[in-house]
Amino acid sequence: MSIEDWTPFHEETIKDILREWYLVPNTDPILRQTALEFDALPIFLDMWSYWFLGSDGSVIIRDVELGSGDTAIYTDFLKRASALTAGVRRYPRLRLLLPQRPRDAVDCGCVGIPIMERVVCGTCGGLRWLQPND
């Protein structure tokens, strides 16, 4: 899932989900502001920062805990996979955007470890498989 694998279908799906999200009353202005600024869907809060998935496939991570508003933008496979697999819990339609497991992929080491069912694996981004060259 390189950046060129992000298709207009991916972009439209994010925009669709985002349009629905805007209709839900939200008390946190930083979420709405970041969503508008980056055309990005709020995904989840980790310990210090909020993750967003942009309609262009980028992952935007904004500090909310310390209030600095520091923002980092990522376009790598692992961050995007992590945002998608985490986001599926909240937005089931994101399942349509998950990368297909290549035929020559291998299981990640997290497969079969119960606690890893509840967190996003830092090795595979929650996909449970790795590309042979990873």
By the criterion CB under 5 A, which residues form the site for Zn ion? Answer: 108, 110, 121, 123-124
In the complex with Zn ion, the residue whose CB is nearer, 71 or 123, is 123
Which string of DSSP letters, residue by residue, matches 92-118?
GGGGGGSPPPPTT-EE-TTTT-GGGGS
In the complex with Zn ion, the residue whose CB is nearer, 18 or 108, is 108
Q: At its nearest, how many Å lie between Zn ion and the CB of residue 127?
A: 7
Residues forming beta bridges with residue 107, ordered by sequence position: 129
Contacts of 33 (CB under 8 A, 6+ apart): none
Instruction: Measure the CA–CA gap between 127 and 98, rounded to whole angstroms.
Output: 8
Q: At its nearest, how many Å lie between Zn ion and the CB of residue 110?
A: 3
In the complex with Zn ion, the residue whose CB is nearer, 60 or 127, is 127
Q: At its nearest, how many Å lie between Zn ion and the CB of residue 123?
A: 5
- Which of 10, 9, 19 has the alpha carbon at shortest distance from 81? 10
Q: At its nearest, how many Å lie between Zn ion and the CB of residue 100?
A: 17
Q: Which residues of 84-95 are buried (b: 16+ CB within 10 A; e: fewer)?
A: bbbbbeebeebe
In the complex with Zn ion, the residue whose CB is nearer, 36 or 113, is 113
Instruction: Measure the CA–CA gap between 9 and 16, rounded to whole angstroms.
Output: 10
